[in-house]
Amino acid sequence: MTPVWLIARSVLIEAVRRKEIYAIVLISTLLIGAVMTVDFFNLEGLTKFYREVALQVMSAATGLTVIVLAARQLPREFENRTIYPLLAKPISRLTFLLGKLLGVMLAAAFCYGLFMLVFILGTFYLGGEIPVGLFLQFLYLQMLKMLLLAALSFWLSMVVNLDAAIALGVIFFFASSVMTNAFTLLYPFADPFGQGTITVLNYALPQLALLDLTEKTVHSEFWPPLNLGTMFALTAYAGFYILVFFGAAWYCFRRRPL
Amino acid sequence: MSAESRARIPPASTAITLLGKGVGIEIFRRKEFYVLLFLMCIYAVGVIIAGAVGIEDAATFFFLLNLGLTFAYLSGHLLALLTAARQVPKELEHRTLYPLLAKPVTRQTYILGKWIATTAAGIATLFLLALLSFVPWLVFPEATELSGLLFLQMIVLGCLSIALVAALGLLLSLVVPPGVSLTVIALFFLFWNQAKAFLLAWYGDGPAAGFLGWVLQYIPDFSKLNLVTRYTDGVGPLGASEFLGLAVYGGLITALALLLTGVLFERRQL
Amino acid sequence: MNGKKSSSRDRKGLSRTHILWALLAVFALSPAISANLQPSRYEGGRVKDEADIEARNTSAFALILGEIRANVSDLLFVKTELYLHSGVAYMPHLDYGEMAQTGEIEHRPAPTEDREPGTEFDFERHFREHQEEVGIVDHDDHDDEHAPTIIPPARQDFRGFIGELHRRVKPWRDPALAHIHTDGRELLPWYRLMTLSDPHHIRAYMIGAWWLKAQRSETQRKEAMRFLDEGVRNNPTAFQLYLMRGYMHNEDGNIELARDEFALAARHAAEQRPSQGPQHRDWTDYMEDDARGAVRMHVLLERELRNIERAIELSREYRAAMGEAVGFLNRIERDLEAMLEEE
């Protein structure tokens, strides 16, 4: 087994053993279940509402899990002094960081997998259909988003303390769509300097809204899956920021004295 | 307790002040307060942008004021809850509780000190952020319609609500892990009012509806103490009896939670 | 010494226990009072004011915030816009007052101008018109087809490839093209949740009932009536809900039941209507229109039940109470008097 995989496996095992993921999935499932039990006027096939609530709850829960899990990986290794024996072995810091990232992503995938099971069962129970193409694209983009969040959280946890890293990650996660809207709507009102600033920010900051297919998946009867070119462009867009944040995290981690 | 040992016990107020200081230092050290302040600054920047874009009408102004005050209200509660829920578990985990209680500080004083300190931190956050919420006044001076008396009532009940959340945070942290107590109280704080309405609507016509309605009243309903929307809605202040009733409601549950915490902590094997 | 110590501890313990028991006793009885403490239940207020809801949710700030809202009314405003446009986020342009009153998705007539409130015409016409809009229909004849989208088209977007990706990922349609409208069926759960969480949201009951009726099935028709019944139970003075129940009974041919509902609607409307009518901040054009409809229907159904004298009496009462607002009663009254003479 490669060192990356070994480290990733330890992250995953720890995440699964701590039962936090189960608790998150359970609470979210209870919330979704409570929504499903409400009788909506004896109407059948009202799946949009279910899809919207379920997907939003699942995305938010997984996003929060990834931020918390990723942000605490490195500080805790330092705090518990478990990083020293690890790095004493012939493992580079890049390998260590890659292993951690892979582990966090495996935990996210595990969490999302449990959610998807609940979602698919719920959809069939309600007599609805799953728009397979769009849904698979939705899942893929969600994973890209989680990867971006994990890389960002790694970097934040290297430059600020744990609480602040989690708080900033959460703020970014929830405020990202507001930011995208703000760029579009404020631009016409801004003076030339303001417009220049908005343009720079538009390209400099990652916009998570671009990796969120929830709305199309909810209203799937009107929207076909995205074409391959768009998917490729989105992958490249997310990949760029993932590399930037991961690179920044690696740089800070390398410079950190043990 | 002998007269000699009683003489060595510092006054409760001194112990409470010391405990309060500890909690305050922790809040600043963990930078939670700064994160909230940072959020409020984002809000203030937003309001300045709104000034540049132009707040078209009174409705938008009150909408922004409502968002700002709601945010201040939530932040105050969140800080009190976060701090209260991890006080005892953290001291137990780090074993800092033992030397503290080995000193002549009674367990009751310890709980009281922690409660006062966490409540004060929450109230300070509420005050500061509520003050920042009034930044819109600078760009849209339409606030003259708002009721000053209702504002006072909102603040007083808001403080009581924070005291209640802190007491419940301390109480639950003695019986369940901090994460669970945080989640449970946060969920009740945010959704209990709606959940209660759901339950009553479901069983509203059933034979046990009256009984159910009565029983559900035992679960603290924080929304009763939240007057933010009433305030920004331009509705008049509460009548004296209703306001007093609400104050007693909040005070009663807080006192009960605090007493129960004291009893549980007293009986706890350390 | 030991005895003293233990008795002092007992006293201390006893007093704390006493306090605890006393508080528990008070707490046990507290629901009797706490159930009646409802500071969030009040008449009026900006949160439910139709004009205010529209104003704040169409503001630039609300558009930036997307679906982030502090109250359910506003969230539903956003959801309605999205669901009725198959997820495409347009600048808000639906008319919620009209929706509550007639079930129509959009199209804004001036409610009190050139429009006789009343019987078959109101109900049937609006219902037919609503049906035209139910289902997936391309509309080419609306005045507001060119409502801009929140995500701008490429020609107006400074964001380059990011804007292009945004348009592809989110439900988006060129604003120059006709809107795709869906029916309100998928919105019904939101209205159900809304009335469960706020049983005093009269407009949610009204729009929900319209969309239930629009499903054109007997089950949903009964559900619509049950929904209205629940609304009336929770809001016994909401005259619009009696009015809607009256229309439904009238359509079912239950004239006496309909008359009773219209009577209640008209009575509450006459009591609540401020003397300035729609000039008053809390009395909208739609309320005025509904109040006039209730009065008219009450008088006309008494006529239909051959209670001519009662109809004339009512007409006079309503004219005295509401003045010019129910000026149309003059003509009805003349017809009634003629009928009475013929008899």
> Which residues make beta-bridge pairs with C90?
C149
Tokens of C148: 């801009």
Cα distance between residue A53 and residue A35, in whole Å: 8
Instruction: Name the band, by pLDDT with cuts 50, 70 and 90, for residue B43.
Output: low
Averaged confidence pLDDT in chain A: 87
Average pLDDT over residues A229-241: 97
**Model confidence over A118-141: pLDDT tens digits?**
888 888 888 888 889 999 999 999
Cα distance between residue C83 and residue A48, in whole Å: 9
φ, ψ for residue C285, nearest 5 deg: -60, -35
Contact C184, C77 (CB under 8 A): no
Which residues constitute the domain of residue B214?
10-267
- DSSP letter at C238 equals -
B203 versus A91: which is more confidently predicted? A91
Locate all alpha helices (DSSP H) within C155-217, ordered by sequence. Answer: 161-169, 188-197, 202-213
Cα distance between residue B49 and residue A165, in whole Å: 27
Q: Using the beta-carbon criterion (under 8 Å), do A38 and C196 form an inter-chain contact?
A: yes
Q: Using the beta-carbon criterion (under 8 Å), do B218 and C31 form an inter-chain contact?
A: yes
Cα distance between residue C224 and residue C213, in whole Å: 6
Distance from CA of A244 to the nearest CA of C (A): 18
A174 CB neighbours in chain B (<8 A) are: none
Cα distance between residue C98 and residue C285, in whole Å: 10
Count: domains in chain B: 1
pTM, 2 dp? 0.75
Instruction: Name the band, by pLDDT with cuts 50, 70 and 90, for residue B154.
Output: very high
- Hey, is C250 helix, strand or coil? helix
The H-or-E segment that residue C181 falls in is strand C180-181
Domain boundaries, chain C: 50-342
> Which residues make beta-bridge pairs with C137?
C181
Is residue B3 in some structural domain? Answer: no
Average pLDDT over residues B15-19: 72
**Model confidence over C138-152: pLDDT tens digits?**
444 444 456 788 899
pLDDT at A154 over 90: yes
Q: Using the beta-carbon criterion (under 8 Å), do A164 and B183 form an inter-chain contact?
A: no
Cα distance between residue C32 and residue A162, in whole Å: 47
Is residue B2 in some structural domain? Answer: no
Q: Using the beta-carbon criterion (under 8 Å), do B35 and A163 form an inter-chain contact?
A: yes
- Residue A5 contacts C where some CB pair is shorter than 8 Å: no
Q: Using the beta-carbon criterion (under 8 Å), do A163 and B31 form an inter-chain contact?
A: yes
Highest mean pLDDT, choosing among B1-10, B59-68, C326-335: C326-335
Distance from CA of C61 to the nearest CA of A (A): 9
- Amino acid C140: pLDDT: 41
Cβ contacts of residue B36 below 8 Å, gap of 6+? Answer: B75, B78, B79, B125, B129
Ranges of residues in chain C with a pLDDT under 50 are 1-7, 106-144
Q: How does strand C180-181 pair with strand C137-138?
A: antiparallel
User: Which range is least confidently modeled, A135-149, A158-172, B21-35, C110-124?
Assistant: C110-124
pLDDT at A254 over 60: yes
Cα distance between residue A179 and residue B30, in whole Å: 27
Letter string b/e over residues B148-174, b meaning 16 or more CB atoms within 10 A of that residue's CB? eebbebbbbbbbbbbbbbbbbbbbbbb
Q: Using the beta-carbon criterion (under 8 Å), do B193 and C20 form an inter-chain contact?
A: no
Amino acid at C108: R
- Amino acid A225: pLDDT: 95
- Residue B60 contacts C where some CB pair is shorter than 8 Å: yes
- Residue A226 contacts C where some CB pair is shorter than 8 Å: yes
Average pLDDT over residues B174-189: 81
Cα distance between residue B33 and residue C300, in whole Å: 66
Tokens of C28: 């046990």
Residue of A230, A252, A52 lying closest to A133 (CA atoms) = A230
Q: Using the beta-carbon criterion (under 8 Å), do C46 and B59 form an inter-chain contact?
A: yes
Q: Using the beta-carbon criterion (under 8 Å), do A20 and B49 form an inter-chain contact?
A: no
Q: How far is CA A252 from CA A24, A76, B230, in A?
A: 31, 16, 49
Angle at the Cα of B61 from the Cα atoms of B55 and B65, rounded to 5 degrees: 140
Ramachandran assignment for B54, one of left (phi > 0), alpha (psi -120 to 50 degrees), beta (any other): left
**Model confidence over B218-234: pLDDT tens digits?**
999 999 999 998 888 87
| Domain C50-342 class, CATH top level | mainly alpha
Cβ contacts of residue C216 below 8 Å, gap of 6+? Answer: C131
- Chain C positions with Cβ closer than 8 Å to B: 5, 16, 19-20, 23-24, 26-27, 30-31, 33-40, 42, 44-47, 51-53, 55-56, 59-62, 70-71, 74, 195-199, 230
Look at the alpha carbons of B197, B202, B208, B210 in this order and tell me if their dihedral is positive or negative. Answer: positive
Distance from CA of B8 to the nearest CA of A (A): 38
Contact B212, B200 (CB under 8 A): yes
* Touching subunits for chain B (3+ Cβ pairs under 8 A): A, C
Closest to A167 (Cβ–Cβ): which among B35, B52, B180? B35
Is residue B202 in some structural domain? Answer: yes
B229 CB neighbours in chain C (<8 A) are: 40, 45, 47, 70-71
Cα distance between residue A187 and residue A195, in whole Å: 6
- DSSP letter at A76 equals H
* Touching subunits for chain A (3+ Cβ pairs under 8 A): B, C
pLDDT at B27 over 70: no
Cα distance between residue C84 and residue C184, in whole Å: 7
